[in-house]
Structure 1
Amino acid sequence: MPEEQILEALDAHWQASAAGDVNAEHEIYEDDAICDYPQSGERIFGRKNLQALRSHHPGKPSGFNVKRILGRGDLWITEYTITYQGRPVYTVSIMEFRDSKVVHETQYFADPFEAPSWRSQWVQQIG
């Protein structure tokens, strides 16, 4: 699949995610896709289970902002922020494609934290 088509599929996926359209959001996945959440030690088998899990999330996201998408060939990375109950969660999604569908995704989630003052002379704050 040409990279332009993968980017279009990713854009459609993230737009559907932001809109809460769980059907369109999961069109990007192969039926037997695997999604890993390393921080909680969970693996979700299959598009149907992934869609069901996300459909039943008790704290539905209220905001969604893609910062950047990088990739080549069958490996694509999206850096984005999801807002849950007024709090941003910084997220990285690593997607592996086979043909035109995602067969494996790994997602990392991180809460924001205060920058320590001891390093302020070497850094700039970003928004």
Structure 2
Amino acid sequence: METQDIRTAIDRHWVASAAGDLVAEHEIYLDDAVCEYPQSGEIIHGRHNLQALRSHHPDKPSGFEVRRIVGKDNLWVTEYMITYGSKPTYTVSLMEFRDGKVSRETQYFADPFEAPSWRAQWVTR
């Protein structure tokens, strides 16, 4: 699959995810895809289980913003922010492609934190 085709598929995936379109959101995955959430230790086997898990999430996002997508060949990274209620969560998705679809995804979730004052002289806000 060409780089542009993969990028187009990723863009469609995130638009569908932001819109809550569970069918279109999961078209990007192979039937035997594996999705891992390292922070909770969960591994979801199969597109069907991933879609079912996401369809039972008790909250719907109140905001969704893709910050950056970079990739080459079969490895792509998306940084995005998803908001539930008023709580933003910064997320990184690593997608590995096989035969033009996602075979493995690893997602990391991080809550915002207050910047410590001791490093203020070296950063911008």
- Superposition TM-score, scaled by structure 1 size: 0.97
5+ residue gaps, structure 1:
none
Letter in 1 for 2:56: H
Deviations along 1:5-33, one digit per CA (max 9) or x if unpaired, are 00000000000000000000000000000
Which runs of at least 4 in structure 1 moved beyond 2 Å after TM superposition?
Answer: none
Give the whole-Å Cα distance in 2 for the aligned partners of 1:53 and 1:86. Answer: 22
User: How many angstroms does 1:85 deviate by?
Assistant: 1.5
Give the whole-Å Cα distance in 2 for the aligned partners of 1:48 and 1:62. Answer: 25
Size of the aligned set, in residue pairs, is 125
Give the whole-Å Cα distance in 1 for the aligned partners of 2:62 and 2:53. Answer: 17
- Alignment identity in percent? 70
Give the whole-Å Cα distance in 1 for the aligned partners of 2:59 and 2:116. Answer: 30
Partner of 1:108: 108
User: How many angstroms does 1:86 deviate by?
Assistant: 1.2
Q: How does 1:1-127 map to 2 (within 5 A)?
A: 1-125=1-125
- Superposition TM-score, scaled by structure 2 size: 0.99
